[in-house]
């Protein structure tokens, strides 16, 4: 019995962290033009626009988180100063 379900790999690898290491993180372009990123054997494939949107949202989230952390830190400092005045 033969397995005739094999498919030709049309992906083009454009970057690999460690050459000749099958498990090394890598980036490839699919036949349809999507970008695939492989890390630890988990591959995510999406059109370049989706990658851009995802990174942009992540950057915006990080900026918002940084602002929130700064506000929390400022509030903690205010409370510490208030407590030191009351002593």
Name the H helices within 31-47. Answer: none
What is the mean predicted confidence (pLDDT) over 67-86?
85
**pLDDT band per the 50, 70, 90 thresholds, residue 37:** very high
Q: Is the pTM of this model over 0.85?
A: no
Q: Say how many CA atoms lie within 13 Å of 2 toward its Cβ.
A: 2
pLDDT at 84: 76
Distance CA 74, CA 72 (A): 5
pLDDT over 60 at 35, yes or no:
yes
Angle, CA 55 vertex, CA 10 and CA 69 arms, to 5°: 155
């Amino acid at each position: 019995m033969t397995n005739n379900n094999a498919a030709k790999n049309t992906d083009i690898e454009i970057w690999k962290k460690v050459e000749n290491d099958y498990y090394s993180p890598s980036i490839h372009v699919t036949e349809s033009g999507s970008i695939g990123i492989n890390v630890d054997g988990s591959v995510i494939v999406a059109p370049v626009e989706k990658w851009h949107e995802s990174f942009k949202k992540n950057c915006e989230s990080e900026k918002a988180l940084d602002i929130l952390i700064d506000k929390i830190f400022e509030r903690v400092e205010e409370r510490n100063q208030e407590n030191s005045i009351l002593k």
